[in-house]
């Protein structure tokens, strides 16, 4: 049975004091969620946020990225060993902002996935289409290619550890949101594509999150869809009240 997850991606927001205050608020407003909660703060906050949330078994520490090499002369980068050493359990890989602004390519993302898994952490692998792909109705094939090129080299036992996050790029930070029906259709298509590679059992057990401007107002409708298993939350994860409402929308 697949897990229900809400993951908060803070992106490049919050200093230490503000970040810890946000975590405190989230913990106070979340008693017994129906799934797992992942908090992914900026790198400098990982250890302190991890200390705060480890007292709650439903909460897990996530990182927003990792480097694709184990170590070396890569000034300013963070390795999977570093992340693992401070208690990181999940790593977001292939976010649309990383693909667009930092030109991350499929082979690099596959290397990140491999390293994350080798260190005992779970990848949250992001996929999704830009507006022009959606408009010409080639979005299913576009997303399938992203999965195939960066994930389908994995053996079944490793693929089972991967969380998929579908993020329609046209709905991230734009105020636009895919309708619940659009989200369900795409999540179902992803599950069908996984089944063709790994079989129905693996596909049915794969957690697929929605990651396109999910908020306190639309989370319940999105999460009610049969193939939507929670959300990768951006801006709404920066407000404890809103994030708590989204967590409360998990269907369990």
Phi and psi torsions of 60, nearest 5°: -135, 150
Report the pLDDT averaged over residues 23-40.
96
The residue among 245, 233, 166, 179 whose CA lies nearest residue 206 is: 166
8 Å CB contact between 219 and 246: yes
Cα-Cα-Cα-Cα torsion 62, 69, 207, 209, nearest 10 degrees, comes to 60
CA distance 150 to 21: 36
Report the pLDDT averaged over residues 127-136.
93
8 Å CB contact between 243 and 8: yes
**Residues 49-65: tens digit of each pLDDT:** 999 999 999 999 999 99
Catalytic site includes residue 157: no
8 Å CB contact between 29 and 3: no
Report the pLDDT averaged over residues 89-101.
97
The pLDDT assigned to 98 comes to 97
User: Of the residues 67, 95, 139, 187, which is catalytic?
Assistant: 95
More reliable by pLDDT, 128 or 175: 128
Answer yes or no: is pLDDT of 244 > 90. yes
Domains located in the chain, CATH noted: 5-248 (3.20.20.70)
The pLDDT assigned to 171 comes to 82
Supply the angle between the helices 139-150 and 106-118 in degrees, to the nearest 10. 50
Structure-token match 């909660």, residue found: 37
Q: How confident is the model at residue 216 (pLDDT cuts 50, 70, 90)?
A: very high
User: Of the residues 97, 104, 129, 167, which is catalytic?
Assistant: 167
DSSP string, 43-91: GGGHHHHHHHHTTSTTEEEEES---SSSSSS-TT---HHHHHHTT--EE
Catalytic site includes residue 67: no
**Residues 150-186: tens digit of each pLDDT:** 999 999 999 999 999 999 998 877 767 789 999 999 9
The number of CA neighbours under 13 Å toward the Cβ of 139 is: 25
Q: How confident is the model at residue 1 (pLDDT cuts 50, 70, 90)?
A: confident
Report the pLDDT averaged over residues 248-252.
92
CA distance 97 to 102: 7
The pLDDT assigned to 252 comes to 79
């Amino acid at each position: 049975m697949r897990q229900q997850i809400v993951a908060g991606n803070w992106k490049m927001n919050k200093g230490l004091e503000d970040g810890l205050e946000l975590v405190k608020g989230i913990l106070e407003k979340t008693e017994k969620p129906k799934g797992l909660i992942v908090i992914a703060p900026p790198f400098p906050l990982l250890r302190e946020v991890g200390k705060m949330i480890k007292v709650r078994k439903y909460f897990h520490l996530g990182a927003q990225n990792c480097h694709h090499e184990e170590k070396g002369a890569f000034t300013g980068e963070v390795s999977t060993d570093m992340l693992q050493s401070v208690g990181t359990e999940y790593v977001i890989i292939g976010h649309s902002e990383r693909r667009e602004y930092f030109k991350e390519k499929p082979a690099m993302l596959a290397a990140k996935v491999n390293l994350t898994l080798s260190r005992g952490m779970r990848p949250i692998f992001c996929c999704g289409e830009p507006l022009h792909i959606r408009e010409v109705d080639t979005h299913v094939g576009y997303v399938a290619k992203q999965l195939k090129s960066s994930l389908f080299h994995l053996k079944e036992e490793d693929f089972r550890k991967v969380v998929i996050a579908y993020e329609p790029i046209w709905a991230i930070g734009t105020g636009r949101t895919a309708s619940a029906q659009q989200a369900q259709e795409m999540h179902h298509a992803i599950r069908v594509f996984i089944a063709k590679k790994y079989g129905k059992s693996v596909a049915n057990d794969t957690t697929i999150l929605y990651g396109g401007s999910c908020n306190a107002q639309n989370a319940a409708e999105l999460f009610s869809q049969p193939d939507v298993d929670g959300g990768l939350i951006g801006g709404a994860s920066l407000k404890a009240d809103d994030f708590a409402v989204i967590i409360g929308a998990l269907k369990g």
